[in-house]
Amino acid sequence: MGALDGIRVVDVGLLVQGPQAGQTLKDLGAEVIKVELPGMGDMARWIPISMEDFRTPYFEACNRGKKSITIDLRVPEGADIFRKLVDTADVLVANFKPGTLEAWGLSYEELSQTNPGLIYAMGSTFGPEGKGADREGADLAGQAAGGLISTTGSDGEPPTPVGATIADHIGSMNMTVGILAALVSRNENGKGQRIDVSLLGGQIYAQASEYTAYLMTGEIPGRSNGGHPLLPMAYGVLETADGHIALVGVLPDKREALYQAAGVPELIHDDRFAPIIYTTEIRQELFRLLADGFRSKTTDEWASILDEMEVRYAPVNDYAQAAADPLVTTNNYIVELEDFNGEKKKVVGSPIRMSETPTAPSASAPELGQHTEEILIELGYTWDEIGELRDLQAI
């Protein structure tokens, strides 16, 4: 049994922000029913790997183990089905443009009248209030408006998006935290509540330290320039003979050994590098002087040297290297499971380990509408009524 065993989630989310929150709840033991538009489904079903490979990584990653029911919420009979389904639920997850569910008569105020314990979790791009809040957007909009891509890369280069849907992911995690907190609160007072999160708000919060530096000084911290603008020490990436390695700060008592290993022992007497904290320019100069030495050895050789010194580091892995890393496989961050057909496949596991109520990732996402009849029968519909609903294109 998972920590959320007995909790029912209705997930009407799209792409990543809402669905990944639902996926996290599913991994924690909740039952998650995904509501999709008939004939179309979640837009993530339409983002293939390539024009030659029609598998859909965004959909598979965010919807494993869920049940799928197709309902057209715009059709009155479909909205009625949805209300009955939500009446059986603990949590509703969505990330439509603000005002969409309200326009269909499915607001928190309306749904909570018949289900006062409902936790109604809404995700948006720019937040629920203010001028422009109703604009549509997606991950890149969150990265851009929240300032993240202004920090990546080096001075003089154009802004560079992060190579993952990081704004969506952070938004989904904030939504999950809000839902879990609301479940705890409901245990105390029996009342549900509305939760709002956004990609923009998530990006601001994810950069709380950097924004705090700006708010304190009025100065923008600046680009990462291969490291971090607020951590101008031996903190950044160096090229090796066969790849790259990240130094995660080198304490003063470790510097002499590091300089010796890199073939520049004289740096220990260079006053520029004596302080604990450097300027960004001095850090860049230090890394320039270390560069030849680091390029003379492989990443594995440097890993052994830095382990011996007890200096913090990590190899700069690509996805193939990370997926094969024993730390990843041993901790089940990537796990091999059996899918619906009994075939083994590797999937991204849960990053959360729990001693008493372990997480349980699933191998496969549902086919579009796979569980429609099953769920409608559970809600009390007859087969004749289900046929009529199909004729009305409500399901």
Write the CB contacts of 131 (distance below 8 Å, at least 6 apart in sequence): none
pLDDT at 233 over 90: no
Give the model's pLDDT for residue 364.
Answer: 93
Q: How large is the average pLDDT for residues 376-390?
A: 97
pLDDT digits (tens, 9 = 90+) for 290-332: 999 999 999 999 999 999 999 999 999 999 999 999 999 999 9
Q: For this structure, is 168 an active site residue?
A: yes
What's the mean pLDDT when you consider all of the chain? 96
Contact criterion met (CB below 8 Å) for 299 and 245:
yes
- Kindly state the tokens that stand for 160: 């560079």
Name the percent of the chain lying above pLDDT 70. 100
pLDDT digits (tens, 9 = 90+) for 136-179: 999 999 999 999 999 999 999 999 999 999 999 999 999 999 99
pLDDT at 275 over 90: no
The alpha carbon torsion through 13, 141, 334, 235 (nearest 10 deg) reads -150
Contact criterion met (CB below 8 Å) for 32 and 69:
no
Q: Name the residue with higher pLDDT: 343 or 374.
A: 374
Instruction: For residue 156, give the amino acid letter.
Output: G
Integer Cα distance of 42 and 249 in angstroms: 43
State the SS3 of 160-174.
Answer: CCCCCCHHHHHHHHH
Query: How does DSSP assign 79-112, residue by residue?
Result: HHHHHHHHHT-SEEEE-PSTTHHHHTT--HHHHH
Name the percent of the chain lying above pLDDT 90. 94
- Kindly state the tokens that stand for 120: 């109604």
pLDDT at 90 over 90: yes
pLDDT digits (tens, 9 = 90+) for 336-346: 998 888 889 99
- Kindly state the tokens that stand for 356: 């008493």
Query: Do strands 334-338 and 313-315 pair parallel, antiparallel, or not at all (unpaired)?
Result: unpaired
Write the CB contacts of 139 (distance below 8 Å, at least 6 apart in sequence): 16, 165, 166, 167, 168, 199
Contact criterion met (CB below 8 Å) for 243 and 316:
yes
Cα–chain-centroid distance for residue 17?
Answer: 7
Catalytic residue among 27, 42, 168, 196: 168
Give the model's pLDDT for residue 341.
Answer: 82
pLDDT digits (tens, 9 = 90+) for 94-126: 999 999 999 999 999 999 999 999 999 999 999
Q: How large is the average pLDDT for residues 36-65?
A: 96
Integer Cα distance of 212 and 92 in angstroms: 33
Contact criterion met (CB below 8 Å) for 181 and 189:
no
Sketch out the chain's domains with CATH numbers: 8-206+365-391 (3.40.50.10540), 235-316 (3.30.1540.10)
State the SS3 of 8-61.
Answer: EEEECCCCCHHHHHHHHHHHCCCEEEEEECCCCCCHHHHCCCCCCCCCCHHHHH
Contact criterion met (CB below 8 Å) for 290 and 264:
yes
Give the model's pLDDT for residue 369.
Answer: 97
What's the Cα-to-Cα distance from 168 to each of 67, 126, 142, 210, 245, rounded to whole Å? 22, 12, 8, 20, 28
Q: How large is the average pLDDT for residues 380-389?
A: 97
State the Cα angle at 263 between 262 and 264, rounded to 5°.
95
Give the model's pLDDT for residue 361.
Answer: 92
Residues 308, 312, 313, 314: is their CA dihedral positive or negative? positive
Give the model's pLDDT for residue 253.
Answer: 93
Give the model's pLDDT for residue 279.
Answer: 84
pLDDT at 278 over 90: no
- Number of Cβ within 10 Å of residue 284's Cβ equals 17
pLDDT at 277 over 90: no
pLDDT at 7 over 90: yes
Instruction: For residue 16, give the amino acid letter.
Output: V
Integer Cα distance of 349 and 326 in angstroms: 14
Give the model's pLDDT for residue 276.
Answer: 82
Contact criterion met (CB below 8 Å) for 318 and 299:
no
